[in-house]
Structure 1
């Protein structure tokens, strides 16, 4: 199968600031200002057309940062991401303007994706039907529940028919009926050879839908392989991690980050 996504040595660094003056210094000074925080460090992997990749990891591992980089919403600090075709991110509030109505958001997002007014008018009924939020389609998005935002975002993203679909916790809200509708659509995409990245805290959802798993731990790739290879080890780790006290979890995190720093220095 042809490669659809190639992520090579991707690092994402942010500066931590405690006040506005530090932000200004960060902009003004050539080397920036503030403590470095690495959301991702030297992440590399490849996905093929038709792959369904589950991205797993405890909170703070960089899953959402990676999803935004794959979707082209934020750039990596260093490294490269090559994608084949159009990419669409589905998150609870991705790309939605809270001040606009649902219908206006459909037009805005489709215009940003390069669709003409005529094409949008043709797509709109299908998006509205998929989202199934009734009269709220003409209400400002700020009045929506998180489930309704997810419905609208999902409806827009799947209807515009992207080549690569990135789903970040979009099925963690809403009812099971809508989730089943989304799975049907994703399975359709899967059969058509599209690449899907799926982020969820639900182990059951991962096992049900994904074929491969990318395990991130504090910004680095811990493991990558088939779902059968990765998930038993990840589940064991998750069980052990949850059994730790808050103090032990913090100590573990500090130890892992220190090891990462040492590896970077040796490299």
Structure 2
């Protein structure tokens, strides 16, 4: 029987290069090795997770564990480094700083985000009053978003997201700001979405909110999927971990966090891929194609953030050709003369020499 799901992530990782300068970032894009080794940080280290249709999945974990990274990958904001992400439907993410253009007004942001979701201007005009009423930010709707408080940004972002009627709603800490009245309005809307059978991914530090809204919970702990299961079971274990951490001394807390961060810095994708390959090989020992299948699973749907070898060669060829034609242009000689005698480039002439 084929497993039914709305969102499925398999062996997803996310690596960040810790650049210190823009030149290091540029060299990395062109795959030019710098003299200094660029340190790496793995925000996610092999996450595999399935979310069912109509399910509300909670994501919990301490700051920096990778919750927002995973939600951004699922929503398509950023690409994964390895692994497959299969999302069946349109997503809409609500986060304090996600998707709003600072220089545009609130009204202009409503139109822009709605157009990006495939809506027509007529549809947008029809629902515009409802969005503005739900956000309840008054005359600020016609002011640039850069002048908004974090609460106003969250109100507008949530109002837009729930009114464009997405298949999958991702809420990333958007209920952590704002007053009680708006909070209750959001909860009522989320509850209404649940009744409609919508799929919701809910990221929050509030265990009370998680317990009230979520069917299942995934606990991400410093880039690893620590636990996934029924809400009460996972939140209880997470609460025990938080209480244990709070009981540590200041020195012990720093040591624990440093150890976890060090694991994320030294994570080996090759070793992880080998482990996954060996696990699949044990299940199907006769299948000799397992290594190639796992390699495809890891990299088959990944968009590289660095320039490929073919593009590097093409870029250098274009650059060399551009420099050559510039030198020919200032040399005073024609291309035919220069090709016959390249030394003419070193001895430019004040007189134009035609072929």
Residues of 2 paired with 1:64 and 1:251: CA distance?
A: 24
- Greater Rg over alpha carbons, structure: 2
For the residue of structure 2 that corresponds to 1:34, the secondary structure is coil
Spell out, residue by residue over 1:19-68, the C-alpha distance to the aligned partner (whole angstroms, 9 max, x if none): 22211221122678621110101100101011111101011100110110
Task: Give the structure 2 partner of residue 163 of structure 1.
Answer: 167
Q: How does 1:94-243 map to 2 (within 5 A)?
A: 94-243=98-247
Task: Give the structure 1 partner of residue 13 of structure 2.
Answer: 11
> Which runs of at least 4 in structure 1 moved beyond 4 Å after TM superposition?
30-33, 257-264
For the residue of structure 2 that corresponds to 1:120, the secondary structure is helix
Q: CA deviation at 1:117?
A: 1.1
Between 249-258 and 154-163, report the one with greater CA deviation. 249-258
- C-alpha RMSD of the superposition: 1.8
Given candidates 44, 47, 50, the residue that maps to 2:51 is 47
Spell out, residue by residue over 1:209-228, the C-alpha distance to the aligned partner (whole angstroms, 9 max, x if none): 11211000111100000001
Residues of 1 paired with 2:69 and 2:262: CA distance?
A: 21
Residues of 1 paired with 2:178 and 2:111: CA distance?
A: 24
Spell out, residue by residue over 1:154-194, the C-alpha distance to the aligned partner (whole angstroms, 9 max, x if none): 00000000011110000000001101111111111111111
Residues of 2 paired with 1:94 and 1:198: CA distance?
A: 15
Given candidates 56, 62, 78, the residue that maps to 1:58 is 62
Task: Give the structure 1 partner of residue 296 of structure 2.
Answer: none
Residues of 1 paired with 2:31 and 2:4: CA distance?
A: 44
Given candidates 27, 31, 36, the residue that maps to 1:29 is 31
Q: CA deviation at 1:126?
A: 1.2
For the residue of structure 2 that corresponds to 1:3, the secondary structure is coil
Q: CA deviation at 1:243?
A: 2.3
CA contact (8 A) 2:89 2:168 kept: yes
Residues of 2 paired with 1:156 and 1:85: CA distance?
A: 18
Structure number having the greater strand percentage? 1
Task: Give the structure 1 partner of residue 297 of structure 2.
Answer: none
Residues of 2 paired with 1:203 and 1:46: CA distance?
A: 21
- 1:82 corresponds to 2:103: no
Q: CA deviation at 1:257?
A: 5.0
CA contact (8 A) 2:60 2:218 kept: yes
Gaps in structure 2 of 5+ consecutive residues: 276-355
Spell out, residue by residue over 1:82-105, the C-alpha distance to the aligned partner (whole angstroms, 9 max, x if none): 111110100012110111110010
Calculate the TM-score normalised by the size of structure 1: 0.94
In 2 relative to 1, CA 31–120 (structure 1 residues): closer, same or farther, beyond 3 Å?
farther
For the residue of structure 2 that corresponds to 1:7, the secondary structure is strand
Task: Give the structure 2 partner of residue 244 of structure 1.
Answer: 248
Gaps in structure 1 of 5+ consecutive residues: none
